[in-house]
Structure 1
Amino acid sequence: MSTAQAVQALVQALGTDLVASGRSIPERRHGDWSGVPASAPRALLRPRSTEQLSRMLRICNEFGQPVVAQGGLTGLAGGACCGPEEIALSLERMNAIEEVDAVSGTLTAQAGCTLQAVQEAAEAAGFLFALDLGARGSCTVGGNLSTNAGGNRVIRYGTMRDQVLGIEAVLADGSVVGGLHKMVKNNTGYDFRHLLAGAEGTLGIVTRVVLKLHPQPRSVCTAWCGLPDFEAVTTLLQRAKAELPAGVSAFEVMWPSYLDFMMERVKALRAPLPSRHGMNVLMESAGADEAHHPAAFEAFLARMLEEGVIEDAAVARSAADARSLWAVRDATAEFPILLPGMAAFDVSFAIADIGRAALECEALLRERWPGGIALVYGHLGDGNLHVIAHADGGRPETRMQIEELVYDLTRRYRGAVSAEHGIGLLKRKVLGHTRSPAELAAMRAIKQALDPQGILNPGKVI
């Protein structure tokens, strides 16, 4: 059966308001931020309810029609890009926050809700929704769960799967599974939350989620620290975890290559410290004790200075100061403009290995392409390393050679080829660097069991 027949059946059953086609499909629905070449979808499904989505997938399954689920389209692995005969699915109309339960400390939302809307609803109720990342205004909670998003606060709160207590999802045949449970303890067989977290829409479409909320911190302390070397960075992290009463909520590490590049190229940035250091750390601690937390934070930094763990530090005295410090770390949004054709990596290593892996990676890139650019930064607390490389004007052939070098190094260190953003299309060929043949076979078996016709996001992940 043809795609045209599938689209016609969808329109007859659900109408053109829910099934758009032709010029009525916005161009942005072709693909995501990855830059992977994509085709215009043959149709765009925009349900307003789980029931409507169930009917849509049931029809698509009957026709063997491929469907690509799309969230806020901020992914960087090509997971939301459409092929020539595929249909796009957007839950942008399912964007309601259904409930904030202050007693249970939960928020129930539809999957098309943006991360920022969830954060603001939680804050209005006096809570914190812990997940945070730069695309908060565009990305959706369904997409966050499907890629198991991480962001800045993983060191304290974990990834997106750790923020979810219950889900509702629709499988390829239209079956609705899961339950909007609010319990932390629920050991009743296979857990659909963890099965669908990180599955990138290949096993089912998440429609609603119950999210875990945390008390809103009353005091947030931020400091930029200059350190002599990576050993001092790991010491600072271990000591901060052990000695700060409120712990560490963010711990961002920047190698000199990154900071030097940003200070030179992004004129709006202000240098956090007057002198250059071997390593740079942006550290944040969020606590509930407004009266004593700032003093404890500064006393800790003073001890680290006295002991030589850190060489200098700038402490934010206001929210504006904190934003200025974070702006240096968040300036990564400028990379596509500053380095067109760059190769960007989001890999992870054991914390014990990440320092050596970063140094070796940077050295290998500079040795192979002496005139190129190699920048390293990351979330040390969760082992997540970002590498930006640019050489030969961003030629595709050079990007492929850079990818081979970085992913081979990741395999040697037994790291993960994707720490965030998922596998999608771009990392499918290197998934075997991290996963064994037996694990890949198990993934294929799960896919076959839940989606025997292979209609959900075909060709992605595996």
Structure 2
Amino acid sequence: MRAGRDSNQCLQAFLDDLPDQLCASRIDPVPPRNHNDWSALSPQQPAALFCPRTTQDVAMLLQVANAHQIAVVPQGGLTGLCGGARPIAGGVALSLEKMTGIEEIDTAAATMTVLAGTPLEVVQNAAADAGVYFPLDLGARGSCAIGGNAATNAGGNRVIRYGMMRDLVLGLEVVLADGTVIDATSKLIKNNTGYDLRQMFIGSEGTLGVITRLVLRLYPLPGCTHAALCGLADYGSVLRLLDGARRKLGPTLSAFEVMWPDYWQVACEVPGVRDPLQGQHVFRVLIEAQGTDEDADSDRFNAFLEDMFQASVVEDAVLSQSIADVKAFWGVRDACAEFKATLGPHLAYDVGLPTGQADDFAKDCAVAIEMAVLGARSVYYGHVADGNLHLLAWLPGSDDQPAKALDAAVYATVRKFGGSVSAEHGIGTTKKPYLQYSRSEAEMALMRRIKTALDPNGILNPGKVIDA
């Protein structure tokens, strides 16, 4: 905001300078859903909400906002958990929800060009209809936007095989704070022409530019999927199972999900969730392999499990006999989506750790949480093979969860183990105080320099990730 002018004057001057087509994209009053994302932060109504339909409209909006130094918060599907899309008082929200559509599927290049507001599930289905596969998958698939997936560098269930979102984006179009449109929509995997500009914006959470269009990398549609839910006696067996899966299943290994006993107990209390394994096991592991040949891949998967039984790595296992079985196994892993109904209010954490230390972290973190908040509980589960551990923490019977104390306990333990305070959910505002636990001062200083260079007036999602 310019000196000598209050926020209302700046906002009105901004609105007065907008072209007619942008005024037509304004939604007034602002719907409650645009007051917050899925974080536990309190809602905040923006001063205005715009839903442009074209990149040119986004560029024009940012150009005028930059001239009047009006804060702009980009919004996608609003499924983020860290407050990255939560509006700012006195600022405007820029929703990409009307910029949707599949523009092109190039099966020869194995790419899809798509507008940023398109829901992930629409992208998945369009790829499947064309006989190809877009592998990013997460629980919010029906609501989250593909541009937001890139802005937060989403991970999901199959990172072990296909990588994070930054590995699935070949090119993008992005609008800078001053309205400059950067068209880097290359379809090329091999493109060694100087700085890789797309990677600067992937994971930046809308603080460096607004992603408006993406070129996604596609893969062959899996010809078959095999899964097993395994019971194991200890974490050492989990690591041996992972090593065996990597060696025996090779590139077909698509998921390796580990569930600690505390998580399993709570998951099986969710209505409709059935325990496929009988007997007591310390760890449960869901293994999935996506192959191309039903007979050959089935034989390979079965032989791998037989080896694990003979080596006394696996105590018991249930193998999928159909896609319905695969979905049922994933239903147990994804039961956490229903924990709010069974646990009540709780806090969700997403951290990165060396795979070999995940169990030691879980033990230490549980103690730290209990010491920080008397009576608090926690449960642990996650992708683990890619170093991603999820945990839930809560004080039973409390509607007002002690977030500050729980956050401090969890992230101090992450720091102790040399881990990442965010594996796939981003930083936003909720993890911003703890970014220094995972990044050096030199790294943070470089981030500030990049932010200042690309957004000198600080209008793009101010207060998120890092301050300039």
User: TM-score, normalised to structure 1's length?
Assistant: 0.96
Question: Which residue does the alignment assign to 1:48?
Answer: 53
Q: Is the 8 A contact 1:167 1:192 kept in 2?
A: no
1:33-44 alignment, distance < 5 Å: 33-44=38-49
- SS of 1:2's equivalent in the other structure is helix
1:356 aligns with 2:364: no
Post-superposition CA distance 1:212-235 (Å, at most 9, x none):
000011010011000111111111
The one of 365, 369, 381 equivalent to 1:365 is 369
Q: Does 1:18 align with 2:22?
A: no
Identity in percent: 46
Partner of 2:3: none
Structure 2 Cα separation of the partners of residues 15 and 450 of structure 1: 24
Q: Secondary structure at the match of 2:103?
A: strand
Q: Name the residue aligned to 2:4.
A: none
SS at match of 1:344: strand
- 1:293 equivalent among 289, 297, 303: 297
Residue among 12, 15, 35 paired with 1:7: 15
Please state if 1:154 is matched with 2:162.
no
> Residues 389 and 402 of structure 1 are in contact (CA less than 8 Å); yes or no, is this contact kept in structure 2?
yes
Cross-structure match for 1:339:
343
Match of 2:315 among 311, 314, 336: 311
Which residue of 2 is the match for residue 211 of structure 1?
216
Secondary structure at the aligned position of 1:393 is classed as: coil
> What secondary structure, in the 3-state scheme, does the structure 1 residue paired with 2:243 have?
helix
2:130 matched residue in structure 1: 125
1:306 partner amino acid: Q
Deviations 1:319-369 (A, max 9, x none): 111111111111111123333331221011111222211222123334555
The whole-number CA distance in structure 1 between the counterparts of 2:12 and 2:276 is 58
**Counterpart-to-counterpart distance in 2, 1:305 and 1:340:** 39
- 1:180 pairs, out of 166, 178, 185, with 185
One-letter code aligned to 2:376: G
Does the 8 Å CA contact 2:394/2:401 hold for their aligned counterparts? no
Does residue 1:165 correspond to 2:170, yes or no? yes
SS at match of 2:137: coil
Change in 2 beyond 3 A, CA 1:8/1:33: same
Name the SS of the counterpart of 1:458 in structure 2: coil
Q: CA RMSD in A?
A: 1.5
1:226-277 residue CA offsets vs partner (Å, 9 max, x unmatched): 01111111111111111125531001000000001121x2121110201120
Cα distance in structure 2, aligned partners of 1:254 and 1:451: 42
Q: Are 1:283 and 2:287 counterparts? A: yes
Cα 1:397–1:374 shift into 2, 3 Å: closer
**For the residues of structure 2 that align with 1:110 and 1:259, how far apart are their CA atoms?**
39
* 8 Å Cα contact 1:373-1:390 kept in structure 2: yes
Deviation at 1:302, TM superposition (A): 1.2
Find the aligned partners of 2:202 and 2:250 in 1 and give their Cα distance: 32
Distance in 1 separating the partners of 2:83 and 2:139: 18
* Whole-angstrom CA distance in 2 between matches of 1:39 and 1:156: 39
Whichever residue aligns with residue 41 of structure 1, its letter is P
- Specify the alignment match of 1:197 in structure 2: 202
One of 221, 227, 232 as aligned partner of 2:226: 221
* Unaligned residue ranges in structure 1 (runs of 5+): none
- Aligned-partner Cα distance in 1 for 2:377–2:416: 23
Cα distance between partner residues in 2 of 1:322 and 1:397: 35
Q: Is the partner of 1:361 in helix, strand or coil?
A: helix
For the Cα contact (< 8 Å) 1:411–1:434, is it kept in 2? yes
Q: Does the aligned pair in 2 maintain the 1:240–1:247 contact within 8 Å? A: no
> 1: distance between equivalents of 2:16 and 2:427?
32
1: CA distance between counterparts of 2:412 and 2:377? 19
Residue equivalent to 1:137: 142
Q: Is the Cα contact below 8 Å between 1:351 and 1:383 reproduced in 2?
A: yes
What does 1:391-430 align with in structure 2 at a 5 Å threshold?
391=395, 393-394=397-398, 396=400, 398-430=402-434
AA aligned to 2:208 is L
Aligned partners of 2:113, 2:22: CA distance in 1, in Å? Answer: 29
Structure 1 stretch 301-310 or stretch 241-250: which is displaced more?
241-250
The question of whether the paired residues in 2 share the 8 Å contact of 1:222 and 1:322 is answered with yes
Superposed displacement of residue 395, structure 1 = 6.3
Write out per-residue CA displacement over residues 35-55 of structure 1, whole angstroms, 9 at most, x where no aligned residue.
211321111111111111111
**Alpha carbons 2:119, 2:143 under 8 Å: kept:** yes
